Structure formats: structure tokens, C-alpha cells
């Protein structure tokens, strides 16, 4: 296998692997390890070019640094991408080679699940490196992160209600949820249990019907979710959904959901701020999963109680961000970045 460094300013290490035998073509970006080893998922994607893959891995790894800093996971930020079509290139040899590639960084990068990568894929990677996280409980891992992510978002959503409406009470609160997959459906369950009135949208009609039958929530068409007369909008599906087209439709006064990169561009954070819509920054409110995984590394083995206690501190981080946002009159999205940067600066100087 040929491993080559790609120098990138602002990143600790970026490396490329090419392995003709297994067909592996992959990149790993270690953005920052000031606060601990760089943990971030492994993504497999049909990129149009290596440049496109590089842009993706750089953006994602930096995002992980900020996310882990604000969540106080004791981890840094990294990410890896494997170039190719998952339907065609997946093989035992490829994942074993990826494990050797990860191992060559000596623990600076720890991998986890991401788009198009499954737990069985990671189990193969694990045979050639120990720097793999998020495996099943039976294998000593922290298991499926989604319920933990959803729990953190639920707590963050309540904190946002307390900040905006003066009470975290959800009884009678109107909430719309876009996407009811692994995390969205769990969020819906918790909201309904607390007496919230819930609207949902999802192209997966089976999932929608099962929640309608189970919890009496109301289903709406995809585009109708933005303009509903609700208190809270919880995006739990796609990125970039807060944009020039959707923001003017919003009646919700709080945005608190699971989905990553929901702001189409940074200026949409300003747009929400100007409209006095309270935004719970995505990478802060959705950190429950990474917090859960981080417990694998710091507590001498996974301990659910420790993980839950840490997840319960997500609302403290959000309150700190909204306070910065109010005091400095800047959008919450910007305040979150400032907080992450100040935590990193403190880490560097200590």
C-alpha cells in the first residue's frame, strides 16, 4: 500500500492511501488533536474526483473538532473517506487494507460509522486496527448512537423552549419533525410522551403510518412541513434545508433538530437571528452520539450512566451559546464556533 502525505494548512495531517491489491483509494484527515485523538466516521462515496473527496474530508474533520470541543468529549476531530461506489467496491480485502491505513497513524485517528458504512464493515476494519469505535455492545463498544443522539436533541429542544418561551414544559407545545428515521422517530416518541402536539413528514410512508397509528401524530407532505403554525421545528433528515426558500415560510420560533449542516450557508444563521428564531446549532444539539462513543475511550470501557450524564450537559452548552449570541448580538451558529474556538485555544495554551 502506498501512503502519501498531502500538506494542508490548518490540518495536523492529511494522508492518501492507494492499494492496488484491494482497490483501496482513501483519504484520512486529522484536523486537530489538541483535546484528544481525532475521532470521526468513515464515509464511502462515489466522488467525482479526489479533489471533491478531499474537500469533503477536510470540511467534515474540522466539523468534528468543533463538535467534540463544545461537547467536552476529550477527543479531537478527524474523518476518513473511501472513494468508490459502495455497491461495487466493498470487499473484505478493502476493509482490511483500510484498517492497516488507519493503523499507520498510530491512534491519532479513530474511526466510526458514517454514510454507507455498516457495523459489519467496521468489524472487518477492526481485524487490522484497534482504532475503531462504535462497535456493538457484545464487542465491547457503545452500540448504536441514534437513541443517544435523539435523547440529547430532546433535552436541547426542551432547553430551547425554556429559553424562548420561559418554560420547558412540552404539554400542548406544537412541534414539527422533518424525517422520522432512527433519530426522528425516537424524538417523536419522547415528544408525544411529554404531551406535545406533533406533525411529521417523511417520504417513507410506512414509517409515517406506523407513527400516526402509534402516537396519533399528524402527517403532512414534504414541502408543507416548513410553513406549519408550530412553536418548534425539528429537522431530522437532510442538510441545507434552512435556505432562502424555506426560512421565509417558517412560523416556528425555535429550530432544534438532529440533522447536520442544516444551514444552507452561514448567512442563513444571520437570517434566523434577524427573525428572532432561536436556533440550537446542529453540531451542538446532536452531539449525543459522539458523547456516547467517547465514553468508550475515557472511562475504562463503556458505561451508559456516564454517557447519559454527559449527554445531559448538552443544554448547558446551548445556554452558553445563546448567552454569547445575545450579549454579542451574533447568530447562535457563529456563537457556537466562537465557543469551540475558545475551548480549543484554552486547550492549546494549557
Q: Which chain residues interact with ligand NAD by CB under 6 A?
A: 145-146, 149, 178-184, 201-204, 207, 222, 236-238, 258-260, 286, 289
> By Cβ distance, which residue is nearest to ligand NAD?
181
Separation between Cα atoms, residue 225 and residue 248, nearest integer Å:
13
CB nearer ligand NAD, residue 160 or residue 237: 237
**Closest to ligand NAD by CB, 3 or 182:** 182
Quote the cell numbers at residue 294.
467517547
**Choice among 79, 90, 158, 164 that is catalytic:** 79
Q: How far is Cα 263 from Cα 246, in angstroms, rounded to an integer?
A: 11
Which residues are registered as beta bridge partners of 76?
38
CB-based contact 96:128 (threshold 8 Å): yes
Residue showing cell 406506523? 210
d(CA 176, CA 223): 12
CB closer to ligand NAD, 283 vs 322: 283
**Who's near 165: CB < 8 A, 6+ residues apart?**
173, 231, 253, 254
Closest approach, Cβ 161 to ligand NAD, in A, equals 20
Give which of 112, 137, 109 is closest to 122, Cα–Cα: 112
Output the smallest distance, CB 221 to ligand NAD, in A: 9
Nearer CB in complex with ligand NAD: 18/207: 207
Distance from CA of residue 240 to its chain's centroid? 14
H or E element: which one contains 109? strand 109-110
Q: Tell me whether strands 76-83 and 218-219 are parallel, antiparallel or unpaired.
A: unpaired
Q: Are 50 and 73 in contact (CB under 8 A)?
A: no
DSSP letter for 133, please. -
Q: Specify the residue, 12 or 282, whose C-beta has the smaller distance to ligand NAD.
A: 282
Distance linking the first and last C-alpha atoms of the chain: 38
- Among residues 206 and 305, whose Cβ is nearest to ligand NAD? 206
Residue 79: active-site member: yes
Nearest distance in Å: CB 233, ligand NAD: 12
Q: How far is the CB of 19 from ligand NAD (least distance, A)?
A: 28
* Closer residue to ligand NAD in complex, CB, 293/321: 293
**DSSP H or E segment with residue 1:** none
Measured from the CB of residue 299, what is the shortest distance to ligand NAD in angstroms? 20
CB of 200 to ligand NAD, least distance (A): 8
C-alpha cell at 61: 474533520
Rounded to the nearest angstrom, the gap between the alpha carbon of residue 88 and the centroid of all alpha carbons in its chain is: 27
- Cell matching residue 110: 479513530
Least Å from the CB of residue 189 to ligand NAD: 13
Q: Which residues pair with 255 in a beta bridge?
A: 233, 279
Cβ atoms within 10 Å, residue 292: 29
Q: Just list the catalytic residues.
A: 79
Amino acid at each position: 500500500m502506498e501512503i502519501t502525505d498531502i500538506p494542508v494548512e490548518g490540518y495536523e495531517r492529511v494522508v492518501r492511501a492507494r492499494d492496488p491489491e484491494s482497490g483501496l483509494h482513501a483519504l484520512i484527515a486529522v484536523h486537530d488533536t489538541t483535546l484528544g485523538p481525532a475521532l470521526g466516521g468513515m464515509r464511502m462515496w462515489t466522488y467525482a474526483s479526489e479533489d471533491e473527496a478531499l474537500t469533503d474530508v477536510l470540511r467534515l474533520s474540522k466539523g468534528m473538532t468543533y463538535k467534540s470541543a463544545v461537547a467536552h468529549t476529550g477527543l479531537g476531530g478527524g474523518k476518513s473517506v473511501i472513494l468508490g461506489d459502495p455497491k461495487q467496491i466493498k470487499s473484505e480485502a478493502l476493509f482490511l487494507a483500510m484498517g492497516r491505513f488507519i493503523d499507520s497513524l498510530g491512534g491519532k485517528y479513530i474511526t466510526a460509522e458514517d454514510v454507507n458504512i455498516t457495523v459489519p464493515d467496521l468489524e472487518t476494519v477492526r481485524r487490522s486496527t484497534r482504532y475503531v469505535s462504535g462497535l456493538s455492545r457484545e464487542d465491547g463498544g457503545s452500540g448504536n448512537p441514534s437513541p443517544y443522539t435523539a435523547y440529547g436533541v430532546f433535552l436541547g429542544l426542551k432547553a430551547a423552549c425554556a429559553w424562548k418561551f420561559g418554560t420547558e414544559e412540552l404539554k400542548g407545545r406544537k412541534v414539527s419533525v422533518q424525517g422520522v428515521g432512527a433519530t426522528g422517530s425516537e424524538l417523536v416518541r419522547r415528544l408525544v410522551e411529554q404531551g406535545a402536539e406533533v406533525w411529521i413528514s417523511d417520504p417513507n410512508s410506512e414509517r409515517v403510518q406506523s407513527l400516526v397509528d402509534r402516537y396519533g401524530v399528524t402527517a403532512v407532505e414534504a414541502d408543507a412541513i416548513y410553513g406549519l403554525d408550530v412553536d418548534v421545528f425539528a429537522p431530522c433528515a437532510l442538510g441545507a434545508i434552512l435556505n432562502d426558500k424555506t426560512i421565509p415560510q417558517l412560523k416556528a420560533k425555535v429550530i432544534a433538530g438532529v440533522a447536520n449542516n442544516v444551514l444552507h450557508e452561514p448567512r442563513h444563521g444571520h437570517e434566523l437571528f434577524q427573525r428572532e428564531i432561536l436556533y440550537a446549532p446542529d453540531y451542538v444539539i446532536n452531539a449525543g452520539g459522539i458523547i456516547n462513543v467517547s465514553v468508550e475511550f475515557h472511562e475504562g470501557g463503556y458505561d451508559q450512566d456516564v454517557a447519559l450524564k454527559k449527554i445531559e450537559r448538552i443544554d448547558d452548552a446551548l445556554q452558553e451559546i445563546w448567552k454569547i449570541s445575545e450579549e454579542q448580538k451574533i447568530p447562535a451558529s457563529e456563537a457556537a464556533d466562537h465557543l469551540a474556538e475558545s475551548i480549543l485555544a484554552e486547550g492549546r495554551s494549557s
